[in-house]
A and B are shown apart, each in its own frame.
Chain A
Amino acid sequence: LNVSTYLHGIYPRSEAVVAATRDLDRGRTTPEAVDHLYDQDLKELVQAQEEAGVDFFTDGLLRWQDLFRPILEACPGLKPGALVRWFDNNTFYRQPEVNGKLTLGTPTLEILDSGAVPQPRVATLPSPYLFSRVALAKSDPNDVMQDFAAGVLKPLARQLASDGYGLIQLQEPWVASHGIEDDDWKPFAESVGVVTDGLEATTVLHTYYGDASPWADRLRELPVDAVGFDFIHTDLDALGTEWPTGILVGCLDGRNSLIEPADHVIDFVKRAADRLEPSAIYLSVSSDLELLPQATARQKVLAMGEAGRQLKETL
């Protein structure tokens, strides 16, 4: 069984970048000085990933203010709106407001800090269903979902795949946290298919911040290479067996400062492999690490890497 490890989502900034961005907002430093510190953060994140032995590298979306912002800035038909709580967390995002056609603007979008990141790379993007549910729009949410998938995610994913991103992950916390109606599954699956069809990259749809097991039968049918679960909230035994896809095992808690011992992680992943019989295992964190301080997040990355190393030898 092939086991891969990688980090997804937004990674926390260092204290130095936090202070510098605050100073920049108050006119006390220069954009160049802040850029230099971002570069340092990225270098340290790459080092942590190399030390952990990950199979796909991320830039940690260090410059992203939230999961949607760079996309809003790149799409003329979108703008950032009110601050809204990010699920059950003490962090907030700007609600995307749809005020025009959902297409990528020109010049070509540069939303990921690719230069210093080794290949193969992982990119993290919002799932079309998530986007449609958080967006403020006058049209039907499912129309927003399909337009966003076709007009924004599809060209973006293709661009990323051609830029060395071997794995593209769609973040889908809405399904696990708030659920999904039966009638919405078909347009959701179609929207995912629009993004993944013919894409020359591995695709993962990751559910988190809740228990996604009530939708396991539907999730396994999605046109992706792997489905991710937040096992802090999801029962392994509720997911059935003989998964036709890979499974992202999110078993290192992205919101808990306690570091999981490697043996806890290894035991769980072995159980997941035995029970679900997936085509591949992707070991990762349950959710973005941005809700942890950077020093704690780094420890999580290394713990993930250590468990992954041992699993690769035994599975």
Chain B
Amino acid sequence: MMKALLTHEMGSLAKPGWRVKAYAGQPLGQADLEEARTWGERLSVPGHEELVDLLGRGPFDAGQKQEIRQWSSRYGVRFCESAGLDAVYDGEQQRSEMYAWAIAHAGGFDFRGTVRSWDNKYYSKAAVTGPISLEVPYHSEEFAYLRSVATAELKIPITGAYTLAAWSFDEYYDTDTSLAGLAAERKARRADARRRFTLDIATRLIRPNVEDLIRLGGQWIQIDEPGGSTEPDELELFVDSFNASVEGLDGTFSTHLCFSDYELFFPAIERMTGCKQFAVGFANYDTRELGTKKEDRPGYGIIDKFRDLPYRPALGLGVLDIHSDFIEPPELVRDRVLYAIEVFGDADRIHVTPDCGLRTRSWEVAYAKLVNMVEGVEMARKALGL
């Protein structure tokens, strides 16, 4: 994991049309089969003709749907490997969505409906309604399969406790809707409820999953926390939940943060000493102009704070804006990377990633972005003589 300028993806990719339709029981057209064939060839997916053949034989029973889901995973892994990434996963092809997948496999939650994330992007939001429990670890089957098909290093993304709590309604830990008492007292009551809720998720859901992944041979586990700084006064809780999830376990742990005011994470994350890498989205805030001076890279102004963390984690430098179809030229990636290395003074601590998962982009766009990212990193290596 500690290779200089290591490249990796950040979790999710869009699901191919053939995977979505097959799973939903919808008829597949010739275009869907062609999509599977074309990408199979382009990514050199071993045995992809078998998938094309299978897709032509719908409707599908449960076993065939499972087979198609695994094919989707296989394509996802090859997508990342073929783009040239050093560490890969499957674009979360087997999961419904990063929040819904976890909650659907946990006891104590009930889904309430969809809520906007941004624009036309929504997620299914649940309420905690009872004691939280985990019947079966919900990433283990997926990981066991991916180990059998991946050739590159696997980095396992798992949604973190704080984000799961922040994205849920609370109908169990704090149920008082009256406005009796002082606002400060109500705030303290809510804070106590949130702490109990979050740490219950960390210890009853996340940690057992992480333990099982390690048992299966998982080495690098990325705790995804896009909601990490949602509540500015809960950063200590965010850190406590990360530590409660992984402390004392024998693995390499990192975290992913995005679309936040990153200043808020300091100084709280100084206590997150078990975190070996912070993968952070920056490109969304940056210009598209070339240049390696500070004024050329306004989106990366805060990276010195990550540099100065006393336990010297790596920085996963987000260089691809995942909300845009703009294909970052390799030269732009190069300049963002060179700027970060200049600030850090240590290429070993810079890894290179998209800002976040690329699931809102088409495969065509996502692939072009990743290929350019890898090329840009190579250009940076050459510029530095690495």
A interface with B by C-beta (< 8 Å): 12-13, 15, 18, 21-22, 24-25, 65-66, 82-85, 88-93, 211, 231-236, 251, 253, 256-261, 264, 267-268, 290-296
Determine whether the beta carbon of A258 is less than 8 Å from that of B177: yes
Q: CB-CB < 8 A to A232: which residues of B? A: 179, 183, 186
Determine whether the beta carbon of B260 is less than 8 Å from that of A65: no
A185 to B169, CA, bound (A): 36
A65 to B323, CA, bound (A): 15
Determine whether the beta carbon of A85 is less than 8 Å from that of B119: no
Determine whether the beta carbon of A90 is less than 8 Å from that of B167: yes
Question: How distant is A76 from chain B, measured CB to nearest CB, in Å?
Answer: 22
Stretch at the interface among B36-44, B46-54, B109-117, B206-214: B109-117
Question: How distant is B109 from chain A, measured CB to nearest CB, in Å?
Answer: 12
* 3 smallest beta-carbon distances between A and B, as pairs: A293-B113, A257-B169, A92-B118
Asked whether A258 and B259 contact (CB < 8 A) given A82-B284, A91-B116, A293-B115, the answer is no
Task: List CB contacts (< 8 Å) of B173-221 with chain A.
Answer: 175, 177-179, 182-184, 186-187
Task: Count contacts on B: residues with CB < 8 A to the other chain.
Answer: 38
Determine whether the beta carbon of A92 is less than 8 Å from that of B177: no
Determine whether the beta carbon of B118 is less than 8 Å from that of A93: yes
Other CB < 8 Å A-B pairs besides A290-B116, A293-B115, 4 of them? A15-B114, A82-B285, A83-B284, A235-B182
Asked whether A85 and B261 contact (CB < 8 A) given A235-B182, A268-B179, the answer is yes
| Residue of B whose beta carbon sits closest to that of A65 | B119
Q: List 15 A-B contacts (CB under 8 A).
A: A13-B122, A18-B114, A21-B120, A24-B120, A66-B118, A85-B259, A85-B261, A91-B116, A231-B183, A232-B179, A236-B179, A256-B170, A290-B115, A291-B115, A294-B113
Contacting residue for B260 out of A21, A25, A85, A293, CB 8 A: A85
Determine whether the beta carbon of A84 is less than 8 Å from that of B259: yes
Contacting residue for A293 out of B117, B125, B229, B284, CB 8 A: B125
Determine whether the beta carbon of B122 is less than 8 Å from that of A233: no
User: B45 at the A/B interface (Cβ < 8 Å)?
Assistant: no
A291 to B169, CA, bound (A): 10
| Residue of A whose beta carbon sits closest to that of B114 | A18
Number of residue pairs spanning A and B whose beta carbons lie under 8 angstroms apart = 102
Question: How distant is B135 from chain A, measured CB to nearest CB, in Å?
Answer: 24
User: B61 at the A/B interface (Cβ < 8 Å)?
Assistant: no
Contacting residue for B112 out of A65, A234, A257, A267, CB 8 A: A257
Question: How distant is B116 from chain A, measured CB to nearest CB, in Å?
Answer: 5
Determine whether the beta carbon of A233 is less than 8 Å from that of B187: yes
User: B316 at the A/B interface (Cβ < 8 Å)?
Assistant: no
Determine whether the beta carbon of B117 is less than 8 Å from that of A92: yes
As a 0/1 sequence over residues 155 to 171 of chain B, the CB contacts with chain A under 8 angstroms (1 = contact) are: 00000000000110111
A240 to B230, CA, bound (A): 32
Question: How distant is A141 from chain B, measured CB to nearest CB, in Å?
Answer: 17
User: B231 at the A/B interface (Cβ < 8 Å)?
Assistant: yes
Determine whether the beta carbon of A264 is less than 8 Å from that of B120: no
| Residue of B whose beta carbon sits closest to that of A177 | B232
A24 to B179, CA, bound (A): 42
Determine whether the beta carbon of A90 is less than 8 Å from that of B230: yes
Asked whether A90 and B227 contact (CB < 8 A) given A256-B177, A295-B113, the answer is yes
User: B269 at the A/B interface (Cβ < 8 Å)?
Assistant: no
A192 to B127, CA, bound (A): 39
Question: How distant is A290 from chain B, measured CB to nearest CB, in Å?
Answer: 6
Question: How distant is B90 from chain A, measured CB to nearest CB, in Å?
Answer: 21
Asked whether A88 and B230 contact (CB < 8 A) given A21-B120, A83-B259, the answer is yes
A65 to B117, CA, bound (A): 10
Asked whether A231 and B179 contact (CB < 8 A) given A83-B259, A88-B230, the answer is yes
Determine whether the beta carbon of B166 is less than 8 Å from that of A90: yes
Q: CB-CB < 8 A to A91: which residues of B? A: 115-118
A18 to B122, CA, bound (A): 7
Q: CB-CB < 8 A to A93: which residues of B? A: 118
Contacting residue for A233 out of B127, B178, B183, CB 8 A: B183
Question: How distant is A293 from chain B, measured CB to nearest CB, in Å?
Answer: 2
Determine whether the beta carbon of A88 is less than 8 Å from that of B259: no
Question: How distant is B302 from chain A, measured CB to nearest CB, in Å?
Answer: 14
Determine whether the beta carbon of B118 is less than 8 Å from that of A296: no
Determine whether the beta carbon of B114 is less than 8 Å from that of A90: no
A93 to B119, CA, bound (A): 8
Determine whether the beta carbon of A257 is less than 8 Å from that of B171: yes
Determine whether the beta carbon of B113 is less than 8 Å from that of A296: yes
| Residue of A whose beta carbon sits closest to that of B260 | A85
Determine whether the beta carbon of B166 is less than 8 Å from that of A235: no
Asked whether A83 and B230 contact (CB < 8 A) given A256-B177, A268-B179, A292-B115, the answer is no
| Residue of B whose beta carbon sits closest to that of A230 | B183
